[in-house]
Amino acid sequence: MRIWLVVTLALFSAMSFGSTPAQADDAALAAHLQQILDAYVKDRASIEGLSGAALQVDRGAGKPILAIYAGDNGLSDKKPIGPDTLFDIGSNTKEFTSALILKLEAAGKLNIDDTIGKWLPQYPAWKDVTVRSLLQMTSPIPNYSETIAIGEIEVANLQHQFSGKDLVGFVDPANGNQFPPGKGWFYSNTNYILAGLIIEAASGINYERALTTMILEPLGLHDTYYADGTHPGPASAGPVMARVPRALFLLQDCLGYQPEPCSLSTLAPLLGKDMRLQNRSWAAEAGAIISNPRDLALWIRALFEKRVIPAKQLEKMTTLVSNKTGLPLSEVSADEPAGFGLGLGRFDRKELGGAYWFYEGETLGFRTIFAYWPQYDLLITGSVNSRPPNGEDKFGPVVIGGAFTALQQAGLPDGATKPVTK
């Protein structure tokens, strides 16, 4: 299934976390991180279909940011992965969409307890669904990206331009669709397409313009682009796609709404293909942003430092529901280790220093992760250029988990003194 968020607690379980507090200097720590990333690219290239990866470790508190790169773009020029390389960030796009909704709420333009019926009366089947339930994935609305219909179009034409109306239409009952409704916490990308349409209705401008003027430009996120089409970004930005590496699709999983038992995915004709130049309008407000680990880290810092939305709205964004039940959750714990806010995942693992915010965004050729521990002022971001076979995604445990291990062995986060906060 092409779900763009990994919500498994096994993400880092393959790692062994040492407890030796050794105050390594920055050069030694950077060298250790480089070894981790180099080994990952070398060992996993043929298995995961990747050619390179990028990693950034931001320890906060005025410490130098460590940016690490390995491999190349996988294209004929073999350009090394570096600070100018761009990757799909997949469902990390949802954080931006949620923040736009909350910015509009703070400006008095809408309320997250408004209904779809108020803003999008053209979808009467969901008229009582609230904006809040869209963002926290507790609506019953089916997931358009798991339908056979969209898969067949993608296979036939990688450059097909979808509209928001098209995407929602794949599951709209008014079009004769009969998919089972989601129950409890149900991950549906359709929720965020509807949220994007509500942003446009409430702001009076299109989503890309709202994103650019309300978030990207004010924060100086100059390497972040909304790729809802063939060539993202303004002309002045230069050839954006020239900075994007090869992106192999190797996932054999059937789509969620294919009849069972299913032995062959609708997307099987795309296996082994480079998805770098695919039109990303199929992901839209749910997953079509292109960026890099540096800008993603700047974004996460700004969000949690209340430089994007006011404290009241950030509190709403970080209020959790259980990933198991969809019911309100005061905080993740050993008993309830996985929760979801408004476009943000939160997990609890003792060996990872307790609770942390997390998202792994995935498209048909990329994976991008952020993991943020406010209690340690620690933020790790990373990207890699492939969508591997089922069960072979090791980027989280090997690279992000490995970076955490390296930091722990260097005295972080064990030596942190900041109090644990949400």
**pLDDT single digits (tens) 363-407:** 999 999 999 999 999 999 999 999 999 999 999 999 999 999 899
- Structure confidence at residue 231 as a pLDDT band (50, 70, 90): low
**How does pLDDT run across 47-72, given as a tens digit for each residue?**
999 999 999 999 998 899 999 999 99
* Residues 90-98, mean pLDDT to the nearest whole number: 98
CA distance 373 to 346: 10
Which amino acid is located at 27 in the chain?
Answer: A
pLDDT higher than threshold 80 for residue 413: no
Q: Please provide the size of the chain in residues.
A: 422
**How does pLDDT run across 110-159, given as a tens digit for each residue?**
999 999 999 999 999 999 999 999 999 999 999 999 999 999 999 999 99
- Structure confidence at residue 22 as a pLDDT band (50, 70, 90): very low
pLDDT higher than threshold 80 for residue 246: yes
pTM over 0.95, yes/no: no
Ordered DSSP codes for 187-238: --THHHHHHHHHHHHHHSS-HHHHHIIIIIHHHT-TT-EE-SSSS-S-GGG-
CA distance 253 to 405: 31
CA distance 411 to 229: 45
The whole-chain average pLDDT of the chain stands at: 91
- Predicted confidence at residue 236, as pLDDT, reads 47
Q: Which of 3-12, 18-27, 169-178, 294-303 has the lowest mean pLDDT?
A: 3-12
- Predicted confidence at residue 232, as pLDDT, reads 66
CA distance 205 to 239: 25
Q: Which of 10-14, 81-85, 97-101, 164-168 has the lowest mean pLDDT?
A: 10-14
Structural domains present in the chain: 26-80+293-409 (no CATH), 93-270 (3.40.710.10)
CA distance 60 to 416: 11
Q: Is 58 exposed, middle or buried (0-12, 13-18, 19+ CB in 10 A)?
A: buried
- Predicted confidence at residue 350, as pLDDT, reads 83
* Residues 229-254, mean pLDDT to the nearest whole number: 82
- Predicted confidence at residue 351, as pLDDT, reads 78
